[in-house]
């Protein structure tokens, strides 16, 4: 395959970025999108040019770091996959592919296609954990959990924190991410003692980071590589309103 790449290049957080054009020639159809970038980078290095900087780790769709906007869509047009799971056979010979970083003010560009997503880490640090002593490990059946609750908790826990929900939202809302983290623990008995504290802390940290509001257009669910349901956002709103009301009465 012979392709034309339109790639966002930015030397640093304070540098002026721009789109650069590269030829990607003789790319195997079986290559993944990141492998295609590796091939292009090898040729750039051989020619004495600066390689395209992008983030990656597992290349198995479980870490969320391979966050690229491909032809205007986070992770590309295929549903339920991360960038590293996208293969070149999904494109046609002669295609022009636009590659940019995730766009959101809380995700500042570090270099080229790499963004700083520490805002997510700070939201998790604000309350996405259980700090009560739970003792030693117990038998799996010692705490009965209903099938609907376990299924919903598992669905929410699938979130890999890639940021596609933010990048796809016109408001750069992080509601699906926060909802998944809150809902995961909120469906489990271990998460009940800190349920109010958790939702208040995480939502307020999300607002402090500068993420926008949700306007229920569901782009986040469409872009999510783990196809997490927006039903979790409804649950987050209910939990937050109840927790805020209880806080006001104290």
Helix axis angle, 147-157 to 231-249, nearest 10° = 100
Q: How confident is the model at residue 132 (pLDDT cuts 50, 70, 90)?
A: low
Cα 1 to chain centroid, rounded: 29
CA atoms of 66 and 33, how far apart (whole Å): 10
- What mean pLDDT do residues 86-110 have? 97
3-state secondary structure (DSSP) of residue 97: strand
Identify whether the C-beta of residue 221 lies closer than 8 Å to the C-beta of residue 180.
Answer: no
DSSP element (H, E) containing 115: strand 114-115
Q: How confident is the model at residue 131 (pLDDT cuts 50, 70, 90)?
A: confident
Residue with the larger pLDDT of the pair 235 and 136: 235
Q: Is the pLDDT of residue 1 over 80?
A: yes
Cα 34 to chain centroid, rounded: 17
Identify whether the C-beta of residue 202 lies closer than 8 Å to the C-beta of residue 182.
Answer: yes
Q: Is the pLDDT of residue 79 over 70?
A: yes
CA atoms of 200 and 183, how far apart (whole Å): 13
pTM for the model: 0.92
- What mean pLDDT do residues 53-78 have? 95
Q: How confident is the model at residue 134 (pLDDT cuts 50, 70, 90)?
A: low
Identify whether the C-beta of residue 12 lies closer than 8 Å to the C-beta of residue 111.
Answer: yes
Which pLDDT belongs to residue 129? Answer: 82
Mean pLDDT of the chain: 94
Which residues does residue 74 pair with via DSSP β-bridges, in sequence order?
Answer: 69
pLDDT tens string 171-206: 999 999 999 999 999 999 889 999 999 999 999 999
Which pLDDT belongs to residue 211? Answer: 98
Identify whether the C-beta of residue 59 lies closer than 8 Å to the C-beta of residue 32.
Answer: yes
Residue found under tokens 């998460």: 191
- What mean pLDDT do residues 120-141 have? 80
Which pLDDT belongs to residue 143? Answer: 78
- Least confident residue range of 114-118, 134-138, 205-209: 134-138
Which domains does the chain carry?
Answer: 3-111 (3.10.20.30), 117-249 (1.10.1060.10)
Which pLDDT belongs to residue 83? Answer: 97
- What mean pLDDT do residues 77-83 have? 95
- What mean pLDDT do residues 219-235 have? 96
Phi-psi domain of 43 (left: phi exceeds 0; alpha: psi -120 through 50; beta: other):
alpha
Tokens matching residue 101: 């970083």
DSSP element (H, E) containing 9: strand 3-9
């Amino acid at each position: 395959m012979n392709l034309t790449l339109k790639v966002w290049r930015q030397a640093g957080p304070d540098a002026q970025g721009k789109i650069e054009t590269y030829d990607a020639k003789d790319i195997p159809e079986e290559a993944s999108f990141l492998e295609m970038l590796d091939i292009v980078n090898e040729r750039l290095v051989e020619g004495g040019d600066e390689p395209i900087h992008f983030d990656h780790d597992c290349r198995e769709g479980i870490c969320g770091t391979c966050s690229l906007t491909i032809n205007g869509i986070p992770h590309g047009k295929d549903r339920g996959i991360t960038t590293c799971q996208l293969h070149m056979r999904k494109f046609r010979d002669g295609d022009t592919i636009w590659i940019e970083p995730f766009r959101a003010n809380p995700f500042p560009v570090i270099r080229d296609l790499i963004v700083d997503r520490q805002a997510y880490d700070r939201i998790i640090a604000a309350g996405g954990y259980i700090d009560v002593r739970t003792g030693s490990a117990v038998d799996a059946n010692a705490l009965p959990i209903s099938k609907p609750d376990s299924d919903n908790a598992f669905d929410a826990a699938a979130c890999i924190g890639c940021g596609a929900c933010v990048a796809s939202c016109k408001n750069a809302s992080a509601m699906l991410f926060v909802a998944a983290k809150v809902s995961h623990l909120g469906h489990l008995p271990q998460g009940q003692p800190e349920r109010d504290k958790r939702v208040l802390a995480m939502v307020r940290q999300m607002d402090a980071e500068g993420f926008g509001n949700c306007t229920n257009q569901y782009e986040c669910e469409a872009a999510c590589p783990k196809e997490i349901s927006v039903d979790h956002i409804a649950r987050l709103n209910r939990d937050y309103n109840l927790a805020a009301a209880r806080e006001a009465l104290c």
